Amino acid sequence: MNKEVEFQHLGLIDYQEAWDFQEQLFRKVIEVKLSNRKRNNPVPTPNYLLFCEHNHVFTIGKSGKSEHLLLDQQGLTQNQVKFYQINRGGDITYHGPGQIVGYPILDLDNFFTDIHRYLRTLEEAVIKTLADYEIEAGRIEGLTGVWLDHRPNPGAMPRKICALGVKASRWVTMHGFALNINTDLSYFNHIVPCGIEDKAVTSMAKELDIKLDLNEVSQCLRNHIASEFQMQLNIPND
């Protein structure tokens, strides 16, 4: 099993450009897996972890409902936000500046072949990152993502701080997660986030009442992902 993972931070990048790059790496990994069937001595399949930010964009997964987008084309144009229907699981979400969006392109044969465990492991890395900033977070049974006020409490509204939506084929993953750090939360008013109407959305900046250093949070998060997956990250210039 190859636990080496090439890490790249793509910076602020157009959503379509990042999606095309994901697809390119995704196909590369699958092609290696398929060619290994014909080899007497299989070669290791590569793994990648991409971090980036996007300009304002709404994306909706295969199981999403179009009515969860509350803007028409004119509204999208006025708010300078793009919209994509994509091939991940999950409903609608927002990406924009001030988020860390993570795209792991992993061959799970190198780690563990269990999609539910994969999602929970990504969530755990986010939960531990938030704990480093003294934000208590957790899960809500039956829902993906990371939440604040996740335990039943009549006086508190659960608030999502990180959304997840993935695709997997032949145990190779793509798409991933979006952690709200310094995010402009007003954009979530234009959608029903993840199709859930009775819960709210938050960010690290809102919870801590300070603006955070994205690079610092990024380093913390990537280290927790590496630890949770027991991967060896290859980081350029690091």
Domain boundary assignment for the chain = 4-234
Alpha helices in 37-157 (DSSP H): 73-78, 115-132
Alpha helices in 108-213 (DSSP H): 115-132, 204-208
Percent of the chain with pLDDT over 90: 71
What's the whole-number average pLDDT of the chain? 92
* pLDDT tens sequence across 29-79: 999 999 998 888 889 999 999 999 999 999 988 777 888 888 888 988 888
DSSP 90: S
pLDDT value for 193: 66
pLDDT value for 62: 78
CA-CA-CA-CA torsion for 226, 21, 123, 165, nearest 10 degrees? -160
Q: Check if the beta carbon of residue 175 is closer than 8 Å to that of residue 166.
A: yes
Residues acting as catalytic residues: 194
pLDDT value for 85: 86
pLDDT of residue 14 exceeding 60, the answer is yes
pLDDT average, residue stretch 118-129: 98
pLDDT value for 222: 97
pLDDT value for 84: 86
Give domain 4-234's CATH superfamily.
Bira Bifunctional Protein; Domain 2 (3.30.930.10)
Is the sign of the CA dihedral 201, 166, 64, 97 positive or negative?
positive
DSSP 139: -
Task: In whole angstroms, give the CA distance from residue 163 to residue 182.
Answer: 15
Structure-block tokens of residue 112? 């563990």
